[in-house]
């Protein structure tokens, strides 16, 4: 799994917590690193903070969705609650899910457990 968050400390904490739950994880703190990691390392899930890439990073997520492996990858937007971003725009851009920052880790791991149970990967 890939955590894309401009907050290095928050991102590193999420990576550590996910690894404790048995989900191999990496951190990206900017758009360039995100693009590099998605090309070099296969991930089943990307939690993508909407502050990375600016403009809700809709163009970036569209690029990620064009990748050959995108149908097997869950892309979840992590957005702020103020100003609220319309969920319809996330879906239109290609995001598979959404959570508001700060995203409770238990909610994120529940989402992962459900995703992996349906796709039998891990």
Give the pLDDT confidence score for residue 122 in this predicted structure: 46
Mean pLDDT of 71-86: 78
Would you state the structure tokens that stand for residue 63, as one six-digit string?
């690029």
pLDDT at 75 exceeding the cut of 70: yes
pLDDT in tens, 21-42: 888 999 999 988 988 888 887 7
Q: Which domains does the chain have, with CATH numbers?
A: 2-119 (3.40.50.2300)
Which of residues 11 and 117 earns the better pLDDT score?
Answer: 11
Distance between CA atoms of 21 and 23, rounded to whole angstroms?
A: 6
Mention every residue, 6+ apart, whose C-beta is less than 8 A from residue 101. 49, 78, 79, 80, 81
Mean pLDDT of 64-89: 74
Q: How far apart are the first and last CA of the chain?
A: 10
The 3-state secondary structure of 47-76 reads EEECCCCCHHHHHHHHHHHHCCCHHHCEEE
The radius of gyration of the chain's CA atoms, rounded to the nearest angstrom, is 13
Which of residues 20 and 43 earns the better pLDDT score?
Answer: 20
């Amino acid at each position: 799994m890939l955590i894309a968050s401009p907050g290095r400390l928050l991102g590193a904490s999420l990576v550590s917590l996910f690894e404790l739950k048995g989900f191999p994880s990496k951190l990206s703190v900017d758009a360039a690193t995100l693009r590099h990691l998605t090309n070099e390392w296969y991930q089943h899930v990307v939690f993508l903070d909407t502050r990375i890439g600016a403009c809700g990073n809709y163009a970036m997520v569209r690029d990620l969705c064009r990748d050959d492996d995108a149908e097997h990858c869950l892309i979840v937007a992590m957005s702020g609650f103020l100003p609220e971003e319309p969920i319809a725009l996330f879906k239109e851009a290609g995001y598979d899910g959404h959570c508001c920052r700060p995203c409770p880790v238990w909610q994120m791991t529940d989402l992962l457990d459900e995703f992996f149970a349906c796709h039998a990967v891990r």
